[in-house]
């Protein structure tokens, strides 16, 4: 988001700096300074996206680069594929649970910390710390914790649970409505993965909300109280609406993380029995680099790009509009 915003600013600048002759030179100097990075982005970002799109319309599904045009065949095959249908379901469930849970825990922690309690610094750092870890580390650790025979279940056994949950090994899907080739619903195995992701990312949400809360001037709260609002009412009617931009940013950032999630799943569970924990990123990697199905992998990549775009483009448009105002 940041580069776009600054790009916009450079567009504005000439209008104000045309006043002098050196200003016109400035314009060209600026352009040439930007040129290398513009070219690099054109080739390495948009060029490669275009190339991926092109490959996804070909039949290059072996080691030998055969490039016959097959139209949308790879996409059609994907949407009829058991594994890809499972992936879409898993991504949807994962994203919804992950974002909702991050928002709730993040906001709760932020509100608690905002009470100016003692040792706030310490708590803040403790909560944010997991974010410094790689998803691979998180995945390995939580894989041990939720291992059905050696992890947290050992405690549950001691506490008297005879049949503790088997966590990410569970193949049940609730409620499991037949839909296409798959059962639609919430794969129970995914919950373990969501918990690990929340553990890692809710600290970030907390930091965002904390910054938001600190930005709200005390006078506004005071004014509400003077008007006779109770603490709960102040929170619901005054604070929450003011936090809406933060909520939106968090949803965008967490959303694009969860749509593209790969490393956590690879380290923690792999595709899982019956693909209950599989995600498009993992499928893309395996089919491209293990199965040499380059066209199919490219099609998955393009679909992932589209999913993230659906989330991000409206946000970019609205924030650019705001800036234009």
Partner 1 sequence: MTAACGGQSDGQEAGDNKQVEIFSWWTGAGEEAGLNALIKLFEEKNSNIQVKNAAVAGGAGTNAKATLATRMQGDDPPDTFQVHGGSELNDSWVAAGKMEPLNDLYKEQGWMDKFPKELIDMVSKDGKIYSVPVNIHRGNVLWYNAKIFDENGIEPPASFDDFFKAAEKLKKKGITPLALGDKEPWGATHLLETVLLGKLGPEDYGKLWTGKLSFEDPKVKEALKTYKKMLTYTNKDHAARNWQDAAQMVAKGEAAMHVMGDWAKGYFTTDLKLKPGKDFGWTATPGTEGSFMVITDTFGLPKGAKNPKATQEWLRVLGSAEGQDVFNPLKGSIPARVDADVNKYDEYGKETIEQFRDAKLTPSLAHGSAAPEGFVTEADQAVNTFVTQGNVDRLAQTLKEKLEQAIQ
**Of residues 178 and 219, the one with the C-beta less far from partner 1:** 178
Site string for partner 1, 180-209 (x = CB under 8 A): ------------------------------
Rank residues 127 and 275 by Cβ distance to partner 1 and give the closer one: 275
Q: Which is nearer to partner 1, 56 or 61 (CB)?
A: 61
Compute the least distance from the CB of residue 275 to partner 1, in Å: 7
* Nearer to partner 1 among residue 10 and residue 171 (C-beta): 171
- Angstrom distance (rounded) from CA 220 to CA 213: 12
- What is the closest distance, in whole angstroms, from the C-beta atom of residue 139 to partner 1 in the complex? 12
| Residue 169 beta carbon to partner 1: minimum distance, rounded to whole angstroms | 5
**Rounded Cα–Cα distance for residues 314 and 167 (Å):** 36
Which of 289, 310, 314, 318 is in the footprint of partner 1 by CB under 8 A? 289
Nearer to partner 1, 148 or 185 (CB): 148
Q: Is 171 in the site for partner 1 (CB under 8 A)?
A: yes
**Residue 90 in contact with partner 1, rule: CB under 8 A:** no
Does position 95 interact with partner 1 (CB under 8 A)? The reply is no
| Of residues 63 and 324, the one with the C-beta less far from partner 1 | 63
**Do residues 45 and 305 lie in contact, with contact meaning Cβ atoms separated by under 8 Å?**
no
Residues 227-286 that bind partner 1 (CB under 8 A): 269-275, 286
SS (H, E, C) the chain: CHHHHHHHHHHHHHHHHCCCHHHHHHHHHHHHHHHHHHHHHHHHHHHHHHHHHHHHCECCCCCCCCCCECCCHHHHHHHCCHHHHHHHHHHHHHHHHHHHHHHHHHHHHHHHHCCCCCCHHHHHHHHHHHHHCCHHHHHHHHHHHCCCCCCCHHHHHHCCCCCCCCHHHCCCEEEEEEECCEEEEEEHHHHHHHHHHHHHHHHHHHHHHHHHHHHCCHHHHHHHHHCCCCHHHHHHHHHHHHCHHHHHHHHHHHHHHHHCCCHHHHHHCCCCHHHCCCCHHHHHHHHHHCCCCHHHHHHHHHHHHHHHHHHHHHHHHHHHHHHHC
Question: By rule CB under 8 A, what count of residues binds partner 1?
Answer: 29
Task: Pick between residue 51 and residue 82 the one whose CB is nearest to partner 1.
Answer: 82
Q: Which of residues 69-88 bind partner 1 (CB under 8 A)?
A: 82-83
Out of 36, 65, 119, 241, name the contact with partner 1 by CB under 8 A: 65
Is 158 a residue that touches partner 1 (CB under 8 A)?
no
Beta carbons of 54 and 68 less than 8 angstroms apart: no
Residue 154 CB, nearest approach to partner 1 (Å) = 13
Among 15, 63, 117, 324, binds partner 1 (CB under 8 A): 63
Tokens in use for 56? Answer: 């996804």
68 binds partner 1 (CB under 8 A): no
Q: Which residues are near partner 1 by CB under 8 A?
A: 61-65, 82-83, 143, 147-149, 166, 168-169, 171, 269-275, 286-287, 289-293
């Amino acid at each position: 988001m940041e580069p776009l915003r600054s790009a916009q600013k450079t567009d504005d600048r000439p209008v104000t700096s045309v006043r002098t002759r050196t200003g016109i030179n400035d314009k060209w100097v600026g352009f040439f300074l930007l040129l290398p990075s513009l070219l690099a982005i054109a080739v390495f970002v948009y060029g490669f996206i275009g190339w991926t799109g092109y490959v996804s319309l070909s039949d290059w599904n072996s080691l030998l680069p055969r490039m016959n045009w097959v139209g949308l065949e790879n996409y059609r095959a994907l949407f009829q594929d058991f594994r890809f249908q499972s992936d879409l379901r898993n991504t949807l469930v994962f994203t919804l649970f992950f974002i909702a849970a991050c928002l709730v825990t993040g906001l709760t922690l932020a509100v608690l910390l905002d009470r100016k309690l003692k040792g706030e610094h310490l708590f803040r750092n403790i909560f944010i710390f997991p974010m410094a870890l790689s998803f691979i580390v998180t995945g390995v650790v939580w894989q041990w914790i939720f291992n059905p025979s050696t992890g947290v279940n050992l405690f549950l056994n001691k506490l008297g649970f005879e049949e503790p949950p088997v966590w990410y090994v569970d193949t049940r899907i609730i409620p499991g409505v037949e839909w296409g080739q798959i059962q639609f619903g919430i794969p129970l195995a995914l919950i373990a993965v969501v918990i690990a992701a929340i553990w890692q990312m809710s600290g970030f949400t907390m930091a965002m909300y904390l910054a938001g809360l600190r930005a709200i001037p005390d006078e506004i709260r005071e004014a509400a109280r003077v008007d006779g609002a109770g603490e709960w009412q102040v929170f619901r009617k005054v604070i929450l609406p003011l936090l809406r931009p933060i909520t939106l940013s968090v949803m965008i950032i967490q959303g694009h993380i969860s749509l593209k999630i790969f490393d956590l799943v690879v380290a923690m569970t792999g595709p899982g029995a019956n693909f209950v924990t599989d995600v498009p990123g993992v499928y893309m990697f395996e089919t491209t680099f293990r199965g040499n199905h380059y066209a199919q992998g490219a099609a998955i990549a393009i679909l992932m790009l589209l999913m993230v775009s659906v989330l991000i483009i409206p946000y970019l448009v609205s924030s650019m509009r705001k800036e234009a105002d």
